[in-house]
Amino acid sequence: MSMRGKCNRRRFLAAAATAVAAPAVLTRVAFGQRKLKSVPDEELKRITGALPEKATTKPAQPRKVLVFYRTQGFYHDSIPLCNKTLELMGQKTGAYEAALISDDMAVFDPGKLDPFDGVIFNNTTRLTFDDPKQREALLAFVKGGKAVCGIHAATDNFYNWPEAAEMMGGLFVQHPWTSEGTWAIKIDEPQHPLNKAFGGKGFLIKDELYQIKDPYSREKLRILVSLDMSKKRNRKGRPDDDNALAWIHRFGEGRVFYSSFGHNHELFWNTAILQHYLDGIQYALGDLKVDDTPSAKLEKKPEPVLCPEE
Q: Quick: pLDDT tens for 233-246.
A: 998 899 999 999 99
Residue 31 banded pLDDT, cuts 50, 70, 90: low
In a domain, 95, yes or no: yes
Please, what is the average pLDDT of the chain?
91
Does an H or E element contain 148, and which? strand 147-151
Q: Which domain holds residue 276?
A: 10-23+46-297
Asked if the model's pLDDT at residue 99 lies above 70, the reply is yes
The answer to whether the CB of 123 falls within 8 A of the CB of 210 is no
Asked if the model's pLDDT at residue 202 lies above 60, the reply is yes
Asked if the model's pLDDT at residue 25 lies above 60, the reply is no
Q: What SS3 state is found at 52?
A: coil
In a domain, 35, yes or no: no
In a domain, 304, yes or no: no
Among the listed ranges 20-29, 58-67, 162-171, which one has the minimum average pLDDT value? 20-29
Name the β-bridge partners of 120.
Answer: 67, 149
Q: How many domains does the chain have?
A: 1
In a domain, 29, yes or no: no
Residue 30 banded pLDDT, cuts 50, 70, 90: low
Residue-level pLDDT at 212: 97
Asked if the model's pLDDT at residue 115 lies above 90, the reply is yes
Distance CA 249, CA 256 (A): 5
**Alpha helix stretches (DSSP H) within the chain:** 10-17, 41-50, 79-93, 132-143, 162-168, 271-284
Q: Quick: pLDDT tens for 127-145.
A: 999 999 999 999 999 999 9
In a domain, 58, yes or no: yes
Q: Residues 24-33: what's their mean pLDDT?
A: 47
In a domain, 310, yes or no: no
Residue 200's closest CA among 221, 211, 185, 210?
185
Q: Residues 266-287: what's their mean pLDDT?
A: 98
Domain of residue 149, CATH code: 3.40.50.880
Residue-level pLDDT at 235: 87
Provide the percentage of residues in the chain whose pLDDT is more than 90.
Answer: 86
In a domain, 32, yes or no: no
Phi and psi at residue 223, to the nearest 5°: -85, 130
In a domain, 175, yes or no: yes
Distance CA 138, CA 227 (A): 31
Q: Quick: pLDDT tens for 177-191.
A: 999 999 999 999 999
Distance CA 265, CA 268 (A): 6
Asked if the model's pLDDT at residue 7 lies above 80, the reply is no
Q: Is the pTM of this model over 0.85?
A: yes
